[in-house]
Amino acid sequence: MIRTLKFTACAAALLALAACGNNEGGAPGSQKARTGIWAAGSSTVFPFATRVAETFARNGGGGSAPRVESLGTGGGIQAFCAGVGPSTPDIANASRPMKRSEFDRCVENGVADIVEIKIGYDGIVVATARTGQSFNLELNDLYEALAKETPGADGRLGANPAKTWNDVNKALPATRIQVYGPPPTSGTRDAFLELGMAPGARLIPAAAAIEAQDKTRFETLAHTLREDGAWIDSGENDNAIVQTLTRTPGSLGVFGFSFLEQNMDTVKAETIDGVAPSVATIADGSYPLARSLYIYVKKAHVGVTPGLEQFVQEFMSDGSAGRGGYLQDRGLVPLPADQLAAERAKASAMTSMARPN
C-alpha cells in the first residue's frame, strides 16, 4: 500500500512533473524546476518525513508543500536511483544503509553525488496483542521458527518442521507460528533479517558451521523466510500489521518501534534475549534489533528543487531531530548530541557519501 502525504498544492506539483518529463542523466542545471520537494521510501521513516513536511509547509518553506510517499526502502531507493530530473525523487527515506549495488545503480544512471544523513534510531519489534500471551524470545527462536530451511538433528538442511512456538522452545506458548511482517521491498524486513534471523542462525551449531564454509550459502539460509503460512507478507503499511494482531489471537507482528509507541493501548512488544525495546535500550544498543534510520539526498537537485536544502536543514534541526524534538514525540530515538552535530554538518555542507563497502 502506498501512502502519500498530500497538501492542497500537491496536485499542481504532480501536473508540473508530468509537464516537465524525464531528464534522467541530464546535467543538474538542465532540468526544469519541480514545484515541490519529493521524498519516497521507508514506511518507518514515512511518519517522521511527514511531520517534517508539515512543519516545513506551515513555516512557509520554499516552493510547494513536500510530497512524501511510502514505497518501502528498496522501492524508494530504486526510484531515487532512476536518474536526475523532476520525475525522480529528491530524497530517498531508508530504514537501512544504501547497499553497494544500489549505489552503483545510482551512479550508472547519473546520480553520482549522494548525501547520506543518519536521522536517528529505531528498533524492530516483535509484538502481540496486548491481551495475548507473552513471548520471551531468544534470537535463535526467530531463526528456528521462521527460516524456510533449518538443520535437523543430523545437521542436514530440510524444510522447517516447527508448527508451534513450543516446538522451537519449550518455554514458549504452544500456539501456532503465525507472524505478520513486511515484504521484501521493506527496509524493516532487511533489518529484521540482518539483526534477528542471521544472528539467531549463528547460535545454531550446524548453521554456524555452514557460515564457516560458505558465507553466501549461510546468508541465503538465514535470510529466506518460510512460505508455508508461518510468515505472512503484509505490505508496507505497518499500521495494518498492528491492526491484524488484534484480530488474530496468538499471532505476532514485526514492525518499527515508532508504531509500537503509537499503539501501546492495543499491542505489546516481546522481549528479545530478555531485553525489551525502549528509547534507552535502542539508543545504547542493548536491544538486539536496534537500527539506524537515514535520508539520502540527491545533490544534483539542490538549488534546482525549491527549498530542498532548507527542508533537509529542518529535518536535522534541534527542534526536529534533537532530544525532546517533535520527531521524538513521533517515536524517533534521537542521536546523541555529538552524532547529531556530525550529521548536521554533513547536511549543511552537502558532503557526498563514499561507495558502500
- The pLDDT tens digits for 316-348 are 999 999 999 999 888 899 999 999 999 999 999
Which residue, among 52, 51, 54, 43, has the nearest Cα to 312 in the 3D structure?
A: 52
pLDDT of residue 186: 85
CB 74 within 8 Å of CB 325: no
12: pLDDT strictly greater than 50 = no
298: pLDDT strictly greater than 60 = yes
238: pLDDT strictly greater than 80 = no
pLDDT of residue 181: 92
| Number of residues that make up the chain | 357
pLDDT of residue 148: 97
| Range in 236-240, 288-292, 330-334 with the lowest mean pLDDT | 236-240
pLDDT of residue 62: 58
Q: What pTM value is reported for the model?
A: 0.74
CA distance 191 to 267: 21
pLDDT of residue 312: 97
Which residue, among 59, 107, 96, has the nearest Cα to 74 in the 3D structure?
A: 96
pLDDT of residue 208: 94
Average pLDDT of the segment spanning 116-120: 97
pLDDT of residue 19: 34
Is 141 or 22 the better-scoring residue by pLDDT?
Answer: 141
pLDDT of residue 10: 37
CA distance 189 to 221: 15
Residue with cell 549463528: 202
Average pLDDT of the segment spanning 178-185: 92
pLDDT of residue 242: 84
CA distance 195 to 190: 9
DSSP state of 275: B
| CA dist 331 → 103, 122, 128, 295, 306 (Å) | 29, 8, 19, 17, 29
Phi, psi of 26 (to 5 degrees): -75, 165
CB 236 within 8 Å of CB 1: yes
CA distance 192 to 178: 16
Predicted confidence band at 32 (pLDDT cuts at 50, 70, 90)?
A: low
| CA dist 68 → 158, 212, 292 (Å) | 43, 43, 20
165: pLDDT strictly greater than 90 = yes
CB 172 within 8 Å of CB 165: yes
Q: For the chain, what is the mean pLDDT? A: 88
Q: How far apart are the first and last CA of the chain?
A: 32
CA distance 290 to 288: 6
Predicted confidence band at 153 (pLDDT cuts at 50, 70, 90)?
A: confident
Phi, psi of 290 (to 5 degrees): -85, 150
169: pLDDT strictly greater than 80 = yes
Angle at CA 82, nearest 5°, toward 80 and 83?
95
237: pLDDT strictly greater than 80 = no
355: pLDDT strictly greater than 60 = yes
pLDDT of residue 173: 94
Average pLDDT of the segment spanning 132-155: 93
CA distance 255 to 267: 11
CA distance 242 to 188: 14
CA distance 276 to 287: 7
Q: Is 326 exposed, middle or buried (0-12, 13-18, 19+ CB in 10 A)?
A: middle
pLDDT tens digit sequence for 75-106: 999 999 999 999 999 999 999 999 999 999 99
171: pLDDT strictly greater than 80 = yes
CA distance 129 to 116: 36
Is 2 or 65 the better-scoring residue by pLDDT?
Answer: 65
Q: Name, in order, each residue with C-beta under 8 angstroms of 186's C-beta and a sequence gap of 6 or more.
A: 42, 43, 72, 73, 74, 95, 236
Predicted confidence band at 282 (pLDDT cuts at 50, 70, 90)?
A: very high
pLDDT of residue 34: 65
Q: For the chain, what percent of residues have pLDDT higher than 90?
A: 71
Predicted confidence band at 6 (pLDDT cuts at 50, 70, 90)?
A: very low
Residue with cell 530517498: 92
Rg (C-alpha) for the chain, rounded Å, is 21
260: pLDDT strictly greater than 60 = yes
